[in-house]
Structure 1
Amino acid sequence: MEKKKIKIGLVPKLIIAIIVGILFGQFLPEGFCRFVVTLSGFFSTFLKFVIPLMILAYVTMGIADLSQGAGKLLLITVALSYGSTLIAGSASYLVSSSLFPHFMSEGALDQIAATADASLTPFFSITLEPVMDTLSAVALAFVMGLCLSSMRGKEMGNSLYNGMSDFSKIIDKVLHTIIIPLLPLYICGTFTDMTISGKTFAILSILWKVFLVVIIMHLICITIQFVIAGTVSKKNPFTLIKNQIPGYTTALGTQSSAATIPVNLECAKKDGVCEQIRNFVVPLCANIHMAGSMITITACATAVCLMNQLPISLEIIVPFIMTLGVAMVASPGAPGGSIMTALPFLYMVFGAEAGDPDGAICAIMVALYITQDSFGTACNVSGDNAIGVIVDTIYKKFIAKTPQEN
């Protein structure tokens, strides 16, 4: 009888990596710890190289594929998704900035500040310059995506679209086979360095409280979304929430909006959403509706700023949220996809130096986010069906009664 292989998910691997990193930094010689930090540095250099390519591939295809829906339904769905994402992120900041300072004792903050310059240096590093900077990648992705969306099949053929689609699959392969599997090494190196410098335990004493608050915000967000959907559609919101439980639990397990689509379609069917609308809204929102991810990223960014005594305000966070609301379009359907897409924009909150994607602060941000990624994904997909109920109601009341678009 063939033995069944035990698969360990990404979150358990990251937790193991954090524990191993702490043990390395606590008990092993500095030379070995520098070796681990050196390997982690190689990965962070490669990550910095891949990020602009990831943005170019995913954002271009995400925007190009938005032309697939009927005009009015597309505009309504995109507006609801983007609005939900912005409101969720802004509310997350307001809650986080009010609660998190109470979690952070003056002693812990002083301990973190005192170890700022105590990091280990790698034995050596490799210079690998990105093909383009992140802003150039975003601008090019917008130009390519919008032009492909409006010109494909009218003013040009499908060759460039197919080429970008293949390029997106290549980047997806790199993400699944290199970036995601090696993330534990990156986190292990970071926590090895942090333990030697003395800041690990001060940070961990804060993070578990942040984790708890973020989960509660996700659940409140889902409840509000379904109350609004129930009010618009005149359906019982608690019945809608009950119908969503299979989709929520599936997302917790898969950590992927894309992988949850089949189950989410069944949830939408139970909600009474017609086949035409659910087949359009659920797959589209799996790529463009990121309310749960935005709650997590905003809360984590706020916590990291407070821990490192970096300035943060609504004026700083709102442009960041608005940018991510677009940049995370079609972020890969893999664990950690949203934070990997958001990584190059963290400088908008942390500043140019602290926001370096291969720096320790961003590594803490990645670790903190991914430990909560499954809950953010579950919040995302639950909100997808709340939007589906609203769009279905609008369609049946107004659009279905008018002549259909060609």
Structure 2
Amino acid sequence: MKEKKKIGLIPKLIIAIILGTLVGLYLPDVFTVIGITFSKMFGAFLNFLIPLMIIAFVGKGIADLSEGAGKLLGVTVLLAYASTLVAGSASYFMSNAIFPSFITTDLVDRIQAATSNELKPLFEIPLSAFIDVTAALVLAFMLGLCVSILRSKGSGEILYKALGEFSEVINLVLAKFVIPILPFYIFGNFTNLAKSGSVFAILGIFGRIFVCIIGLHLIYLTILFIITCTYAGKNPFKSIRLAVPAYLTAVGTQSSAASIPVNVNCNKNIGVTKQIRDFVIPLCATVHMPGSMITITGCVYTLLTMFDMPHSYGLMIKFIAILGVAMVAAPGAPGGAVMSALPFLPVVGVDPASTMATILITLYITQDSFGTAANVTGDNAISVAVEKIYYDHIVKRPKPTEEFE
């Protein structure tokens, strides 16, 4: 008996957008109101979940990164985080230079006017978070740092395990409940957008943003390889070619974690030693997120521009800097990075349960596979630089010319 093929998340989202638009345009208001009611209920649940995500992901991420901290770990994390920040900044400046040319004032006015005509849900559930975002962030940093200090002194394993299992619980909720229900959530919101009249103005922006962001992914990867490979004395274009299998694998799986075996093999072909690649590639799968950061920054900039909200670099860099830490423990499931970004949308003035957040999720996930592919491919460039620093400045001995597998 043949196994039935499952429909991927991106096709489901596209179907949800199409059906939501059709329902909002052509069916009576009652159908739109039912969809909106479900979306509002789901949005309330997201608001409840967000502080828990912060505690789980940020706390566990900091505890993991600090564990057994050494020079090699420090160099890898520093390079990965710097790359992620630079990628986010590049995305901001690209967006600021290009996006206003097609997100015009007339379009912004039309979207805002249409949004004010949205229908209301039948009812709402008064579900609120038990702790606010700022308090959750402080608690996460406190737990992560203290657990890592305790473990360095030979204790704290029970608390570390509890933090890890709590993170697994939140990952499970995201993977088994939140992500599968996203198409219905987006369906409900797009019925409202279609009914209000703003849907076509918003959809008209999607394609152009998609092209710009994918283009920046490729440009950033090329520059990253040129810098690191030139520093390490390698041919950057040959290294890029050898990393292509990892890129294609990530496009298909939409998961950095699932791409690790292929990426390790690509790193071997590039010529990175076993000691370095076996350490750097799995670590960078969770700490090096330039592709995701480029995509999220571009999408958030688009939202802020569309709704005529402040979007200065000073504001955005705060969001980029904190998101670079939060994405460390982003789940390997499709859409994990954007779900990790939701708790920090208030930094730029966006309500995580609003229609704006729905548009962000839709924008991001339709491009998620390419962002993940950029993350994975960029890990090879980081490993090349880490290897050079490790042998030249940390152990201060020549790189081995032969490996014993």
Q: TM-score range by the shorter chain?
A: over 0.9
After superposition, give the CA deviation of every residue in 1:34-67 in whole Å (9 maximum; x if it has no partner): 0111111111111111111111111111111113
Match of 2:213? 214
In structure 1, the gaps of 5 or more residues are none
Deviation at residue 338 of structure 1 after TM alignment: 0.9
Matched residues in 2 for 1:400 and 1:272: separation? 19
Q: What's the CA shift for 1:313?
A: 1.0
For each residue in 1:252-273, what CA deviation from the matched residue of structure 2 results, as whole angstroms up to 9, or x when unmatched? 1111111111111111111111
Counterpart-to-counterpart distance in 2, 1:368 and 1:57: 25
Cα RMSD of the aligned pairs, angstroms, is: 1.3
Shift of 1:70: 5.4
Provide the residue aligned with 2:356 in structure 1.
Answer: 361
Aligned partner letter, 1:24:
V
C-alpha displacement of 1:400:
2.6
Cα deviation 1:59-83 (Å, max 9, x = unaligned): 1111111134551111111110111
User: Aligned equivalents of 2:305 and 2:54: distance in 1?
Assistant: 28
Q: Measured at CA, do residues 231 and 374 of structure 1 come closer, stay the same or move farther in structure 2, by a change above 3 Å? A: same
Counterpart of 2:182 in 1: which secondary structure?
A: helix
What is residue 48 of structure 1 aligned with on the other side?
47
For the residues of structure 2 that align with 1:153 and 1:81, how far apart are their CA atoms? Answer: 23
Partners of 2:316 and 2:169 lie apart in 1 by: 33
Q: CA separation in 2, counterparts of 1:55 and 1:114?
A: 34
For residues 238-387 of structure 1, the aligned pairs below 5 Å read 238-349=237-348, 351=349, 355-387=350-382
Confirm whether residue 101 of structure 1 aligns to residue 103 of structure 2: no
Query: Amino acid of the residue matched to residue 401 of structure 1?
Result: K
Displacement of 1:368:
0.5
CA contact (8 A) 2:54 2:137 kept: yes
Amino acid at match of 2:331: P
The answer to whether the 8 Å contact 1:282/1:388 transfers is yes
Counterpart of 2:403? none
Q: Shift of the alpha carbon at 1:399?
A: 2.0
Kindly indicate whether the alpha-carbon contact (under 8 Å) linking 1:59 and 1:331 is maintained by their aligned counterparts in 2: no
Q: Which amino acid aligns with 2:356?
A: I
Quote how far apart the aligned CAs of 1:131 are: 2.1
Shift of 1:84: 0.6
Q: In the aligned structure 2, how far is the partner of 1:307 from the partner of 1:170?
A: 36
1:396 is the counterpart of 2:391: yes
Whether the 8 Å contact between 2:48 and 2:127 is mirrored in structure 1 is: yes
Q: Secondary structure at the match of 1:152?
A: helix
Structure-1 residue corresponding to 2:64:
65
Q: Which residue type is aligned with residue 222 of structure 2? A: T
Residues 66 and 145, structure 2, Cα contact 8 Å, conserved in 1 = no
Q: Percent identity over the alignment? A: 53
Q: Name the amino acid aligned to 2:215.
A: I
**Separation of aligned partners in 1, 2:339 and 2:156:** 32
Deviates more, 1:154-163 or 1:2-11: 154-163
Query: Residue type matched to 1:387 in 2?
Result: I
Report the equivalent of 2:10: 11
**Could you give the per-residue CA deviations for residues 95-136 of structure 1, whole angstroms, max 9, x where no partner exists?**
101100111244322211211311111101111121211111
State the 1:334 CA deviation: 1.1
- Paired residues in the alignment total 397
Superposed displacement of residue 155, structure 1: 5.0
- Equivalences for 1:164-203 in 2 at 5 Å? 164-203=163-202
What are the within-5 Å matches in structure 2 for residues 123-134 of structure 1?
123-134=122-133
Q: Offset at 1:153?
A: 5.2
1:144 Cα shift? 0.7
Conservation of the 8 A alpha-carbon contact between 1:273 and 1:389: yes
**Runs of 5+ in structure 2 lacking a partner?**
398-405
Q: Counterparts of 1:281 and 1:69 in 2: how far apart (Å)? A: 15
Q: Which stretch shows the higher mean deviation, 144-153 or 234-243? A: 144-153
- Which amino acid letter does the alignment assign opposite residue 384 of structure 1? D
User: What is the distance in 2 between the residues matched to 1:318 and 1:128?
Assistant: 31
> How far does the alpha carbon of each residue in 1:285-344 deviate from its partner, in whole angstroms, 9 at most, with x for none?
111111111111111111111111112111111111111111222111111111111112
Q: Tell me the distance in 2 between the aligned counterparts of 1:303 and 1:283.
A: 32
Distance 1:388 1:286 in 2: 12
Q: Aligned partners of 1:91, 1:12: CA distance in 2, in Å? A: 29
TM-score, with structure 1 as normaliser = 0.95
Q: Which amino acid aligns with 2:28?
A: P
Q: Is the 8 A contact 1:69 1:280 kept in 2?
A: no
Q: Which amino acid aligns with 1:62?
A: G
